[in-house]
C-alpha cells in the first residue's frame, strides 16, 4: 500500500512538472477599434512580435481590429472585468473613468511631438499610468494618435467664425465637446463606428482626427475640406486588464512592459515618417487644405482652460505647458 501511494505521488509530481510550461502559456487578446491600415494596428503588430519572440512562444497575442470586441468605452469596461486582456485605445474615452486624464485633451496644450513625448514618458505621464491600476487597468505605455485636424463637407475653415454651425463628430469626451463649443461648432459626441455611417449619410458635417485616420478610413470621399488646426495632441494608451497582468509571471510582466514601450515608440516613428506623405495623398485625392490662424483658435479656446483648471489642477497644467 505504501509503495502504491509513493508511486502515485511520484506520478503526480511528474505530471505537475510537465504541466508547468503549459500553465504558463497564455494567449493575450488585444483589441482596437480601427482598421488594419491604421497606426494603431502597426503598434499592435509590433507588440505581438516582441512579446511572442521574447517569451519563446509562451505568450501569444491575438489582435482584434475593427471594433470586433466593442467600441473604446466597451473595451475599457471589458478590461476591468478581465473579458478583454489588452487594448490600444485613444486617450479621450479614458476620461470617463479617470477624469484627471482629460488634462491631456486640453486644446493647444502641446505644440510639438517632442514636448508631448517628454511629458508622457516623464514623471507626469508615468503617474497617470500608475493611477490606472486602482481602476482595473495596467497602463503600459503611450503610443500616438497624433495631432488632430478638422475635416468637413461644407466649407473651408480658417477662423472660429468658419466653424459656426458645423456639426462635428467628437469623441465621447467632455473636454473635446467644450473645446468645439468654444470654437463655435455644433459638437456631436459619438462612437467612431457610428460616426463613419453618419459622415457617409451627411447627418453630420465633419469630424476631427489625425491625418493617419483621415487616410486609413478614406474620409476624403465624404469630406472636401481639411483644416490643419492641430487643436489637440492625442496619445493612444497601450493597456492591459489588471486581472490579466496579475496572471503573468514577473518575467513576463517585464517583457510585456518593455514590448509595449517599444511598440509605442515604433508607432510614433511611423506617424512622424508618414505625415508629409499622408498630407500629399489627401491633397491628391482632392481635399482642399487650409492652415487656420492658430492664434485666433487659441484665444477662442481659453474658456476651456478656465473651466477645467480646478478639476485638473493649475499646477499640473502649468507643469505641462512649461516642458519644451
Element (H, E) at 212: helix 211-216
Segments in the chain below pLDDT 50: 1-23
Within a domain: 19: no
Verify that 303 and 318 share a domain, yes or no: yes
Residue 191 has phi, psi (to 5 degrees) of -65, 150
Verify that 206 and 318 share a domain, yes or no: yes
Q: Which domain holds residue 264?
A: 25-144+235-277
For residue 26, with 0-12 CB atoms within 10 Å meaning exposed, 13-18 middle and 19 or more buried, which class applies?
middle
Asked if 185 and 162 count as a contact pair (C-beta separation under 8 A), the reply is no
Verify that 189 and 41 share a domain, yes or no: no
pTM: 0.84
Lookup: cell for 16 = 505537475
> Strand 146-152 and strand 59-64: pairing?
unpaired
Within a domain: 6: no
> From CA 7, how far away is CA 289, in angstroms rounded?
79
Verify that 193 and 168 share a domain, yes or no: yes
Helix/strand/coil for 205: coil
Verify that 102 and 180 share a domain, yes or no: no
Within a domain: 14: no
> From CA 164, how far away is CA 180, in angstroms rounded?
10
CATH of the domain at 272: 3.40.190.170
Verify that 293 and 269 share a domain, yes or no: no
Within a domain: 4: no
Verify that 56 and 129 share a domain, yes or no: yes
Helix/strand/coil for 54: helix
Cα–Cα distances (Å) from 253 to 30, 32, 51, in that order, read: 15, 21, 10
What is the predicted pLDDT for the residue at 15? 38
Asked if 155 and 164 count as a contact pair (C-beta separation under 8 A), the reply is no
Cα–Cα distances (Å) from 135 to 78, 154, 175, in that order, read: 12, 41, 21
Helix/strand/coil for 242: helix
Within a domain: 8: no
Verify that 34 and 47 share a domain, yes or no: yes
Verify that 283 and 249 share a domain, yes or no: no
Can you list the positions of beta strands (E) in 103-179?
137-142, 146-152, 167-170
Verify that 38 and 112 share a domain, yes or no: yes
Residue 135 has phi, psi (to 5 degrees) of -85, -25
Cβ atoms within 10 Å, residue 292: 21
> From CA 147, how far away is CA 161, in angstroms rounded?
22
Verify that 79 and 130 share a domain, yes or no: yes
Within a domain: 110: yes
Verify that 89 and 186 share a domain, yes or no: no
In 3D, which of 144, 127, 97, 134 has the Cα closest to residue 261?
144
What is the predicted pLDDT for the residue at 17? 37
* Final residue in a domain of this structure, among 245, 262, 277: 277
Beta bridge partners of 147: 233
Within a domain: 2: no
Within a domain: 10: no
What is the predicted pLDDT for the residue at 192? 87
Helix/strand/coil for 67: coil
In 3D, which of 64, 89, 60 has the Cα closest to residue 77?
89
Our count of domains for the chain comes to: 2
> From CA 47, how far away is CA 49, in angstroms rounded?
5
Beta bridge partners of 63: 30
Helix/strand/coil for 185: coil
> From CA 219, how far away is CA 53, in angstroms rounded?
36
> From CA 34, how far away is CA 88, in angstroms rounded?
10
Amino acid at each position: 500500500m505504501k509503495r502504491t501511494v509513493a508511486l502515485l505521488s511520484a506520478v503526480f509530481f511528474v505530471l505537475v512538472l510537465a504541466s508547468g510550461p503549459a500553465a504558463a502559456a497564455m494567449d493575450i487578446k488585444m483589441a482596437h477599434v480601427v482598421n488594419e491600415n491604421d497606426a494603431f494596428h502597426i503598434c499592435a503588430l509590433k507588440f505581438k512580435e516582441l512579446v511572442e519572440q521574447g517569451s519563446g512562444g509562451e505568450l501569444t497575442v491575438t489582435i482584434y481590429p475593427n471594433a470586433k470586441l466593442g467600441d473604446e468605452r466597451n473595451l475599457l469596461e471589458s478590461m476591468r472585468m478581465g473579458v478583454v486582456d489588452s487594448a490600444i485605445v485613444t486617450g479621450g474615452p479614458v476620461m470617463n473613468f479617470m477624469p484627471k486624464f482629460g488634462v491631456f485633451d486640453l486644446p493647444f496644450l502641446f505644440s510639438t511631438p517632442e514636448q508631448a513625448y517628454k511629458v508622457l514618458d516623464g514623471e507626469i505621464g508615468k503617474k497617470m499610468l500608475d493611477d490606472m491600476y486602482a481602476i482595473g487597468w495596467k497602463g503600459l505605455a503611450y503610443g500616438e494618435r497624433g495631432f488632430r485636424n478638422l475635416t468637413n463637407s461644407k466649407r473651408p475653415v480658417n477662423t472660429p467664425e468658419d466653424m459656426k454651425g458645423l456639426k462635428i463628430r467628437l469623441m465621447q469626451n467632455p473636454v473635446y465637446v467644450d473645446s468645439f463649443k468654444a470654437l463655435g461648432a455644433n459638437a456631436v459626441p459619438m462612437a467612431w463606428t457610428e460616426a463613419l455611417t453618419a459622415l457617409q449619410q451627411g447627418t453630420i458635417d465633419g469630424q476631427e482626427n489625425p491625418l493617419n485616420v483621415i487616410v486609413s478610413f478614406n474620409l476624403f470621399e465624404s469630406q472636401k475640406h481639411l483644416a490643419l488646426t492641430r487643436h489637440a495632441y492625442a496619445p493612444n494608451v497601450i493597456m492591459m486588464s489588471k486581472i490579466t497582468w496579475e496572471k503573468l509571471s514577473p518575467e513576463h510582466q517585464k517583457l510585456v512592459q518593455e514590448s509595449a514601450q517599444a511598440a509605442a515608440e515604433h508607432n510614433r516613428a511611423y506617424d512622424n515618417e508618414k505625415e508629409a506623405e499622408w498630407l500629399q495623398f489627401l491633397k491628391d485625392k482632392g481635399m482642399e487644405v487650409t492652415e487656420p490662424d492658430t492664434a485666433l483658435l487659441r484665444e477662442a479656446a481659453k474658456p476651456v482652460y478656465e473651466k477645467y483648471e480646478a478639476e485638473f489642477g493649475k499646477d499640473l497644467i502649468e507643469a505641462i505647458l512649461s516642458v519644451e
